[in-house]
């Protein structure tokens, strides 16, 4: 490839309780990529995201812009890798804006009541992008599931990290909000980031991802552009489904259709 | 930031003023009642000899201890609630005062130390550390309210039983009686020796807890999200355990067990500052100081032949409050982690 790698992963492996749950993942991505991470339940999607976020001890080398991330401080890593966990619970009813402001925590802006202007602007941008300004002052527990999902996404965008690791950001959202969330993440990719989205929605992956990584049993089963990584044989082998395929307006449509 | 919340500065000033007023009232309360003006005069070395002795030597240590102990209890409650993200957490629920008391009683009944020795707070700190550490370990990453409460109950009961055993086996029955009264929780008749024993530890514990206040806010999103924001959750946990143990352990060593301030104080200030676990901390300390000082004034005003211990009063008021919280939150409590 002629494009230089921005994020490279070399021999990444994770052991949990003596069992290898992620085997030798090696791949690289240039800037501006939307990467869909798909695979059956237990395939290792969340494990891969958590390892990239530095939440699990893993073997192998992760390089960002040529630099091994193991040499970064905890704070530098937090500035470069923003993680949106699948578990969207918020334990105290903080105002939505204060939740978004937590995205500036790794930048040293730890108190949402006294944000330096640079951080305040980042919070503002993230809130405008996710369209949550209208309920900035409302406690997050009073918001609907969709609103809360957008606030938490705004929190991740507010980090303004070059790498975003989103674990099933579209689960529990209605169709419209699913499309909006994907649009926002694509915009973050277009701005020069590498955006990972773990999802069960093969249709979204096929349509919106630049690269699809198919995990199966902790191994990369396929990796490449959607058409290749989600080829009928892969779907049959990994997901054990057959799909209805077509295209609409030049974009691929994949709908899981039959059980193989 | 513009919002409808009470400004932090205003609130802290108001709570601080309340503590000062109660502090002066506390210095004026006792067998000899003194007007606030007289108290302030005596405090600054003016006025009559008798008043000066009463205020500076007899009542001042007690008033200082009420503020310090109430403050550290309120702060510890807020910190533990922030750490386990559970509004029912408090030092008492974690068995900290009970375990500290056990360690202190063991030291006393073995004759290793007397009530005025530095060994006592150190033993109490060790006891409190063991119980809080144990409970945080049991609670793990995402324990339900039920697990925390049951584990806390078990640890408190164990500490209570161990204390009873230590008293049971105490070589001297008079010592056992003295210990039993001490356990009820009181800051009656304390001297500057007690202030010197406890205050340095309390200040260190409080500083450790307050310095972590912003991390609790990040923890609102759960442990993984907090770690991804750069919070070292393992170190935070250890800091809270150490801060609570050092502060509460030292407090118990001079006052016996005084419960429920740590539960009540954060709840009172939440109605003023909101649920932000970082913003609750300092107001909660001030509310705790005000509560214990007020309770300590109350026990001196209650007409009775034997004096009521302040620890008894806080429990009598605190337990119904705890029940009220349980009844209010019983639906979410049944549902595991919130």
The predicted-structure confidence for A7-16, as pLDDT tens digits, reads as follows: 999 999 999 8
Contacts of A78 in chain B (CB under 8 A): 228-230
Report the gap between the CA of B233 and the closest CA in chain A (Å): 11
Q: What percent of chain A clears pLDDT 70, i.e. is strictly above it?
A: 99
- Best interface-test mutation with B: which of A91, A114, A152 has the largest number of B CBs within 10 A? A91
Q: Which tens digits make up the pLDDT trace of A202-242?
A: 999 999 999 999 999 999 999 999 999 999 999 999 999 99
DSSP 8-state class, residue B58: I
Residue of B218, B337, B338 with shortest CB distance to A102: B218
> Given an 8 Å threshold on Cβ–Cβ distance, is B275 in contact with A92?
yes
Q: Which CATH number fits the domain that encloses residue B58?
A: 1.10.3470.10
Q: Which strand (E) or helix (H) includes residue B178? A: helix B173-183
CB nearest to B1's CB, from A55, A83, A113: A113
- pLDDT band of residue B337 (cuts 50, 70, 90) is very low
Cβ distance A209 to A34 under 8 Å?
A: yes
Nearest CA-CA distance, residue B113 and chain A, Å: 44
Higher pLDDT, A36 or A146: A36
- 3-class state of residue B148 by DSSP: helix
pLDDT at site B323: 87
The answer as to whether B299 is a domain residue is yes
Domains of chain B: total = 1
Give percent above pLDDT 90 in chain A. 82
Q: How far apart are CA B78 and CA B58, in angstroms?
A: 32
User: Which SS3 state, helix, strand or coil, does residue B175 take?
Assistant: helix
Provide CB contacts within 8 A for A156, sequence distance 6+. A82, A83, A84, A103, A164, A166
The alpha-carbon radius of gyration of chain B (Å, integer) is 20
- Answer yes or no: is B106 within a domain: yes
Burial (CB < 10 A; 0-12, 13-18, 19+), residue A61, is middle
Establish if B271 touches chain A: CB-CB under 8 angstroms. Answer: no
Question: Could you tell me if residue B186 is inside a domain?
Answer: yes
Tell whether B278 is within 8 A of chain A (Cβ): yes
Within 10 angstroms of residue B324's Cβ, the number of other Cβ atoms is 11
- Is residue B325 assigned to a domain? yes
Structure tokens at A82: 């923003």
Q: What residues make up the domain containing B255?
A: 2-333
Which pTM value belongs to this model?
Answer: 0.90
Query: How confident is the model at residue A69, as a pLDDT?
Result: 94
Q: How far is the C-alpha of B175 from the C-alpha of B171, rounded, in Å?
A: 8
The DSSP element (H or E) to which A126 belongs, if any, is helix A117-129
DSSP symbols for B60-95: HHHHHHHHHHHHHHHHHHHHHHHHHT-TT--TTTTT
B338, part of any domain:
no
Give yes or no for residue B330 having a pLDDT over 80: no
pLDDT digits (tens, 9 = 90+) for B27-73: 999 888 899 999 999 988 888 888 889 999 899 999 999 999 999 99
Higher pLDDT: A37 or B120? It is A37
State how far residue B72 is from chain A, nearest Cα, in angstroms: 23
Round to whole Å and give the CA distance between B85 and B237.
Answer: 12
Indicate the residue of A93, A110, A115 with minimum beta-carbon distance to B214: A110
ipTM of the complex: 0.91
Answer whether residue B46 is part of any domain. yes
Q: Considering the domain boundaries, does residue B10 fall inside one? A: yes
Instruction: Judge whether A238 and A45 are in contact, CB under 8 Å.
Output: no
In A, minimum Cα distance to B219 occurs at A91
Cα dihedral angle (B278, B280, B281, B286), rounded to 10 degrees?
Answer: 160
pLDDT digits (tens, 9 = 90+) for A155-206: 999 999 999 999 999 987 889 889 989 999 999 999 999 999 999 999 999 9
Q: Give me the sheet containing A19-29, strands edge to edge.
A: A19-29, A7-16, A59-64, A67-68
User: Which of A74, A92, A159 best probes binding to B when mutated, by most B CB atoms within 10 angstroms?
Assistant: A92
Q: Answer yes or no: do B230 and A78 touch at CB < 8 A.
A: yes
Q: Do A85 and B224 touch (CB under 8 A)?
A: yes
pLDDT of residue B172 exceeding 80, the answer is no
Task: Report the chain B residue with the minimal C-alpha distance to residue A159.
Answer: B229
Whether residue B4 and residue A137 make contact (CB cut-off 8 A), yes or no, is yes
Q: List CB contacts (< 8 A) between A155 and chain B.
A: 221
In a domain, B61, yes or no: yes
């Amino acid at each position: 490839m002629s494009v230089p790698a921005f994020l490279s992963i070399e021999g990444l492996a994770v052991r949990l309780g003596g069992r290898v749950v992620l085997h030798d993942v090696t791949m690289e991505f240039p800037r501006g990529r939307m990467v869909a991470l798909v695979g059956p339940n237990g395939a290792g999607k969340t494990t891969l995201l958590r390892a990239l976020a530095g939440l699990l001890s893993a073997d192998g080398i992760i390089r960002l812009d040529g630099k091994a991330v193991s040499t970064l401080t905890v704070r530098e890593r937090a500035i470069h890798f923003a993680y949106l966990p699948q578990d969207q619970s918020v334990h105290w009813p903080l105002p939505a804006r204060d939740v978004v402001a937590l995205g500036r925590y790794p930048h040293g802006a730890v108190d949402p009541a006294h944000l330096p202007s640079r951080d305040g602007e980042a919070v503002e941008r993230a809130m405008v992008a996710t369209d949550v300004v209208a309920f900035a002052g409302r406690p997050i527990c009073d918001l609907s599931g969709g609103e809360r999902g957008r606030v938490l996404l705004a929190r991740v965008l507010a980090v303004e990290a070059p790498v975003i690791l989103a674990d099933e950001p579209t689960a529990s959202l209605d169709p419209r909000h699913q499309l909006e969330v994907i649009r926002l993440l694509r915009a973050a990719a277009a701005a020069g980031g590498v955006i990972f989205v773990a999802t069960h929605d093969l249709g979204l992956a096929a349509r919106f991802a630049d690269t699809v990584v198919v995990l199966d049993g902790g191994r990369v089963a396929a990796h490449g552009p959607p058409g290749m990584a989600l080829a009928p044989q892969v779907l049959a082998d990994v997901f054990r489904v057959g799909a209805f395929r077509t295209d609409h307006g030049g974009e691929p449509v994949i709908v899981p259709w039959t059980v193989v | 930031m513009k919002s409808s919340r009470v400004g932090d500065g205003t609130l802290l000033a108001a709570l601080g003023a309340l503590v000062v007023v109660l502090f002066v009232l506390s210095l004026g309360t006792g067998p000899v009642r003194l007007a606030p003006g007289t108290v302030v005069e005596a405090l600054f070395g003016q006025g009559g000899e008798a008043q000066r002795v009463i205020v500076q030597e007899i009542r001042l240590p007690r008033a200082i201890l009420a503020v310090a102990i109430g403050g550290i209890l309120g702060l510890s409650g807020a910190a533990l609630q922030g750490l386990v993200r559970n509004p029912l957490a408090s030092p008492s629920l974690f068995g900290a005062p009970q375990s500290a008391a056990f360690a202190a009683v063991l030291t006393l009944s073995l004759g290793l130390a007397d009530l005025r020795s530095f060994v006592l707070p150190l033993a109490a700190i060790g006891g409190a550390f063991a119980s809080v550490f144990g409970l945080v370990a049991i609670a793990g990453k995402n324990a339900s309210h039920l697990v925390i409460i049951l584990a806390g109950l078990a640890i408190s009961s164990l500490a209570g039983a161990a204390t009873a055993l230590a008293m049971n086996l105490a070589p001297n029955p008079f010592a056992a009686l003295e210990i039993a009264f001490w356990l009820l929780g009181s800051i009656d008749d304390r001297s500057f020796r007690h202030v010197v024993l406890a205050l340095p530890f309390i200040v260190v514990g409080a500083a450790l807890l307050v310095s972590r206040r912003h991390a609790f806010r990040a923890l609102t999103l759960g442990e993984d999200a907090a770690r991804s924001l750069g919070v070292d959750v393992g170190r935070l946990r250890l800091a809270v355990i150490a801060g609570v143990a050092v502060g509460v352990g030292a407090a118990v060593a001079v006052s016996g067990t005084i419960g429920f301030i740590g539960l009540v104080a954060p709840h009172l200030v939440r109605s003023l500052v909101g649920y932000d676990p970082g913003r609750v901390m300092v107001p909660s300390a001030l509310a705790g100081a005000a509560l214990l000082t007020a309770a300590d004034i109350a026990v001196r005003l209650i007409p009775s032949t034997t004096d009521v211990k302040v620890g008894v009063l806080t429990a009598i008021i605190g337990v119904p409050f705890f029940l009220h919280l349980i009844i209010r939150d019983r639906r979410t409590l049944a549902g595991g982690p919130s």
